Chain A
Amino acid sequence: MTLWEIDIYPAEGQPDRLGNTVTGDAADLDLAKDLAVSAARGFLVQGDIDETQANQLARELFADGVVERTVVARAGDARLSEPPNGKPQLLHVMLKPGVMDPVAQSALNAIADFGLKVDAVRTFRKFWLPETSAETVATLSSRILANDSIEQVVVGPLQLDRLQLGAPYQFELVHVAILNLDDEGLTRLSREGQLYLTLVEMQTIQKYFRDLGRDPTDAELESIAQTWSEHCSHKTLAGRIAYRDENGEQRFENMLKETIFAATQQIRRDLGDDDWCVSVFEDNAGIVRFDDEYNVVFKVETHNHPSALEPYGGANTGIGGVIRDPMGTGLGAKPICNTDVFCFAPPDISTSDLPPGVLHPRRVMKGVVSGVRDYGNRMGIPTVNGAIYFDERYLGNPLVYCGNVGLIPRNKSRKEVKAGDWIVSVGGRTGRDGIHGATFSSAELTSESESLSGGAVQIGNAITEKMVLDVIMQARDRGLYSAITDCGAGGFSSAVGEMGEKTGAEVWLDKAPLKYDGLSYTEIWISEAQERMVLSVPPANWDEFESLCRSEGVEASIIGKFVETGRLQLKYNDNVVADLPMALLHDGRPPIVRDAIYAAPATKPLNLPAPGSLDLNDTLKKILGSLNVASKEWVIRQYDHEVQGGSAIKPLVGVENDGPGDAAVVRPVLNSYRGIAVSCGMNPRYGDFDTYHMAASAIDEAMRNCVAVGADPSRISILDNFCWGYTDRPETLGSLVRAALACRDLAIAFGTPFISGKDSLNNEFSYEGETGKQTISIPPSLLISAMGQVEDVRKCVTMDLKEAGNTLYIVGLTNNELGGSHFAFVEQLEGGEVPKVNTDIAKQTFAAIHQAIQTGCLRSCHDLSEGGLAVAVAEMAFAGGMGASISLAKVPRNAGDVADLSLLFSESNSRFVCEVPAGKQAEFEQLMSGVPHAALGEVNESKRVSITGQTGDSLIDGSIAELKEAWQSPLRW
């Protein structure tokens, strides 16, 4: 048995990609200028191989001989620590034992294909730095080179003689003494055991076991904690809430059910026979009708806390996890596109201003984008929609929303577990990864979280999930199983607990395939190891199912049986390690009772600067260059947005393929022109004024984005994702309930059903500051994701201006609504009115725009959002490479004076700018007769955007080149 180290350096004259990245990152974070770094990637290979064989592997497997050179030696050999280019300081970064290492796993199999015998492989990165202080090395290590939650840094040569492979597990049944604990003891057990249950919940558990006259086993206690966690049961929002606002008090028995679910139910009732919802708020994703053959499913989740600690792994497993939702919906949907929305602190913050335990937002952003990119691209799912919002309050607690749309045959949209079916685990093996992820995500982050919750942070392996998808689709079509769900938060405990809720389940934990030895039965039960699905397979189909899986190298194992007992019984080698009634898990949790108060913040008028006091060209460029508005091309291009071949409208549009499209459209069925449009709406800045109008605006924005490209407004379904601060505070919960009320009202008014949703509470970050404990709470962050349907994608329009001579119209009302606007933000103005939604006008406007698109009246169409009319027209112009000249004189408005500045920059909802060719003007005006609209001006060849005010003064006159540069440069990384 020999341990070989293979170092792979760029060959002479080839770029040092890894080293250059470190140099760039060190400069970006102001840690070091022009830091000279040499880097290698490396492999440790342990097995019965000699030097010739090790060299063969280096040459034929690990390195690319055209552009790379290798150093191969036994681990510890002096040749491995000879500095290249005279840089003496050597560092190694390697994954901590037990962290998923997909490359090492693939390498093991690839070596076996050479007919060689090795028993372990590990990967690492090797860095050579100039002579530097230990302090600098430590700073570089923690800020750039490694992430302590998953990686370890070894300074100097690697002194290893063998790779650890885990020790065997000795069974021992563990009971947790709970019967005699007082309240303080219960609270401590909840916290120290990372159960994160409330005292009332702990008391309920205690009472249950006192009645039985025994203590619970650890597996029983964990099962209850996982099932009752906020993450799995959404107990706060589905709980009893007494809510008070300016209209008095309302009491909810189940807040979500009585607001958002209720709205959907009413919409479905009103639609009667035309109801196109199929399954809402029951399965892993919402399901609606698509065409005669297929339904579509949609789900968006968040992965905030893991992404705060390890951005790459957190986002990676975030997208990997949400893809498993459609895969685990009905009998399994095929994922057809992804959407990803992120919230970060501004990336230009100084490293020295970071609170302890916080990663630099630039590093967070790069890591999150890479994590989503690598998983989505490898799965072969186009990432077609997204947004990024920046706000200082996301510093310690960034938000990562990942969503997926799936396509499923209509007759495969229902599942039913049958007693007598095998419980089958398919896909990845179970390891120690992600233990306590469900309970951790329900807790508040602190500067200590990194050390406390390392186990909750994971890396995904997209190819394992792709392999699972490939076999699941075939098994589904052959009818080999009766139900399927994903292993997400809570692992087997949640998946089996949910599937067996109506029947009962007996689980044999020793049968679960493990990544390495040493896992206890409880660890197996609650591990959140990725890429696993749980299926209910009738015994008669097992052989065929198993052989299908084996033919593609996918591991499938029977780990238990669904039984008609109504109980959850866990065994480990015939020892019963847990035995609980399903009813206790699913109905035994005492209701959470919360107070919620909403008091509107005092309003104050926004004092507009005197006319002429601002250089409005400059203002416009500042808004275009503000991070929320600025081009996200750097991110979008790293996502494969065209795989699967159905891309009809891309996220980037226009004459140079780089303008900001409103929504992307895909054709999921290649021989059909029916399409799916995906868009989103969010504006945390409005939440500082009124979360009702924030939510209403987000819904309006998501809808109008979809409508602007050609989606049918009567066939849009939406999702809610609430990310909020600490909802035990009545004011924080109050602001959330108020947003939920808006969701209910707007959904009903638009006839637009919510079909699924998710919440993530307690998004706060605490640390010890100079003046004691400091807490940063995120702003109320409601993401609305919309899935629209397009009858024929060949009628879609994009937002780029097309042809000189066409007339530009505005549709919708513009009001004095600069509160929370980007104009106020860049000019540092406070107060004002936040945009509201007039649902009657909005609904008619959406329908009219849709008609205009269907009848071919529009050459381009763009919704008005951040930055208002001025930004929309500028974006349309530079995306199209055309000029535009418009006047504000006729812009439709409510009665009363509206200043030029408001007409330019107000973010009033439900508005569009439309480009109409001369021959279509009469038809367009006819279609718009019921809604506010006006001709503003025309498209021209000038390559300038010119806007004149109500009295004819020139307000803005800028070249599209300079406007585009202002928009592109901030995030051109």
Chain B
Amino acid sequence: MPTPRVLILRAPGTNCDLESAYAFELAGGKADSVHINQLLETPSLPSQYQILCLPGGFSYGDDISAGRILGNQIRHHLQETLVEFKSAGKLILGICNGFQILIRSGILLADDEQGEPATLTWNASGKFEDRWVKLSVDGHKSVFLNGIESMYLPVAHAEGKFVTRSTALLDHLKAEGQLALRYKSLHQSNGHVPYPDNPNGSLADVAGVCDETGRVFGLMPHPERFVDPTQHPRWTREGLQECGDGLLMFQNAVRYFAN
């Protein structure tokens, strides 16, 4: 199996780049960390890679709003590069801040006449929160979620509430299987997922969204924070799993290029 190369894009304030690179390597990929300035200087750089990962953090401090400034940089200078990357059948993963950047840049969901059709805005709780959530996979669209039914992963964000401009868009994305990852209730519930199981108040309990090809995927939870069994919050009670739930996502990405 060829070893896919992963470009981990970092910018001022990115802070999950090392563990994201580690997760890809654990899954069998070869990861390089590339600074945004380097990419702006050499926009052809991604052609040497199969996977682009936008890791978590606070790019440019999340000043103005989360992911906005880097999202705009991509819009202004890298749109063509990424469209090309996408249409070459390659994979793009945005985790947490990376998801916010994908939404702001228009790479994940195409603009409508008023601009970005959806957003990740302030948590309904009004604050940053770090907590573990149960997730269920809806449909088979996302390459990254292939064969996964549910996962248990941590979220750690202040701006993760998924909102669309229109109900029609939400329905459309749902029908197309693009609302690929959802927060799930820990307890019995009749469809409604209450806080904190839905940690931010996202519409339709959306935790992750993929594009129409399933090869571009953004999610608020952090799969790279559960690749080793000792990262589970209750391993001292429940024993050590064979591997972390999040590792499967990175393995899916790497395996995608084996075929």
Contacts and interface: CB of A to CB of B under 8 A. Distances in A.
A binds B: yes
Interface of A: 15, 17, 20-21, 59-62, 64-67, 102-103, 105-107, 109-110, 113-114, 373, 377-380, 461-463, 466-467, 470, 551-553, 637-650, 652-655, 657, 667, 670-671, 673, 793-794, 796-798, 800, 802, 860, 880
Contact of B236 (A113, A644, A645, A796): A796
Interface of B: 10, 12-16, 18-19, 22-23, 35, 37-38, 56-58, 60-65, 68-69, 72-73, 76, 114-119, 121-122, 124, 126-132, 154, 156, 163-165, 222, 224-225, 227-228, 230-231, 233-234, 236-237, 240
B110 to A, nearest CB: 14
**Most chain-B Cβ atoms within 10 A of its Cβ — which of A102, A640, A653?**
A640
A455 B149 CA distance: 56
A894 B121 CA distance: 60
Given A642-B156, A645-B22, A802-B237, A377 B69 contact: no
Contact of B13 (A105, A466, A649, A655): A466
Contacts of B72: 60-61, 110, 113-114
Given A110-B60, A670-B22, A66 B230 contact: no
Contacts of A794: 230, 240
Given A645-B225, A645-B231, A657-B131, A21 B126 contact: yes
A911 to B, nearest CB: 21
A461 to B, nearest CB: 7
A462 B115 contact: no
6 contacts: A66-B118, A113-B72, A643-B15, A647-B231, A650-B233, A671-B22
A616 B58 CA distance: 49
A106 B230 contact: no
Contact of B18 (A20, A644, A654): A644
A466 B12 contact: yes
Contacts of B163: 66-67
Nearest to A649: B236
Contacts of B131: 637, 657
Contacts of B76: 113-114
Contact of B63 (A107, A647, A793): A107
A20 B56 CA distance: 29
B37 A551 contact: yes
Contacts of A20: 126
B61 A462 contact: yes
A20 B126 CA distance: 10
Contacts of B15: 378-380, 466, 643-644
B19 A653 contact: no
Contact of B121 (A21, A64, A649): A64
Given A67-B163, A114-B76, A642-B130, 7 more contacts: A65-B115, A377-B156, A552-B35, A642-B154, A644-B19, A645-B227, A647-B231
Contacts of B68: 61, 110
A701 B95 CA distance: 39
Contacts of B37: 551-553
Contact of A797 (B117, B225, B236): B236
A860 B56 CA distance: 34
Contacts of B19: 643-646, 670
B236 A66 contact: no
B236 A106 contact: no
Contacts of A647: 225, 231
B8 to A, nearest CB: 13
Nearest to A383: B130
A238 B62 CA distance: 44
B35 to A, nearest CB: 6
Contacts of A15: 122, 124
A66 B13 contact: no
Contacts of A638: 127-130
B12 A103 contact: no
A655 B132 CA distance: 12
Q: Which 9 A-B pairs have the closest CB atoms?
A: A380-B15, A645-B19, A106-B63, A66-B119, A463-B61, A103-B63, A798-B236, A463-B13, A378-B58
A378 B224 contact: no
Contacts of A860: 236
A109 B59 CA distance: 13
Nearest to A550: B37
A640 to B, nearest CB: 5
A639 B128 CA distance: 8
Nearest to A63: B65
A673 B61 CA distance: 32
Contacts of A59: 115
A97 B125 CA distance: 32
A667 B230 CA distance: 10
Nearest to B196: A637
Contacts of B38: 551
B61 A378 contact: yes
Given A643-B16, A645-B224, A113 B73 contact: yes
Contacts of B231: 642, 645, 647-648
**Most chain-A Cβ atoms within 10 A of its Cβ — which of B15, B121, B131, B154?**
B15
A102 B58 CA distance: 13
Nearest to B131: A637
Contacts of A103: 61, 63-64
Contacts of A800: 236-237
Contacts of B69: 106, 109-110, 113
B58 A463 contact: yes
Given A62-B64, A378-B58, A637-B130, A642 B225 contact: yes
Given A114-B76, A645-B231, A655 B16 contact: no
Contacts of A653: 233-234, 236
Nearest to A334: B18
Nearest to B230: A648
Contacts of A110: 60, 64, 68-69, 72
Nearest to B68: A61
A667 B13 CA distance: 22
Given A65-B116, A66-B165, A67-B121, A380 B64 contact: no
Contacts of B14: 380
A259 B154 CA distance: 45
Contacts of A673: 230
A144 B37 CA distance: 41
A109 B13 CA distance: 15
A110 B70 CA distance: 9
A380 B57 contact: yes
A639 B63 contact: no
Contacts of A640: 128, 130, 156
A797 B239 CA distance: 11
Contact of A461 (B61, B62, B236): B61
B196 to A, nearest CB: 9
A796 B236 CA distance: 7
B136 to A, nearest CB: 19
A868 B241 CA distance: 35
A880 B236 CA distance: 11
B57 A655 contact: no
Contacts of A373: 128
Contacts of B234: 653-655, 657
Contacts of A646: 19
B115 A463 contact: no
Given A60-B72, A102-B63, A380 B16 contact: yes
B116 A106 contact: no
Nearest to B59: A463
Given A66-B163, A113-B72, A644-B18, A378 B13 contact: yes
**Most chain-A Cβ atoms within 10 A of its Cβ — which of B56, B65, B115, B230?**
B230
Nearest to A667: B230
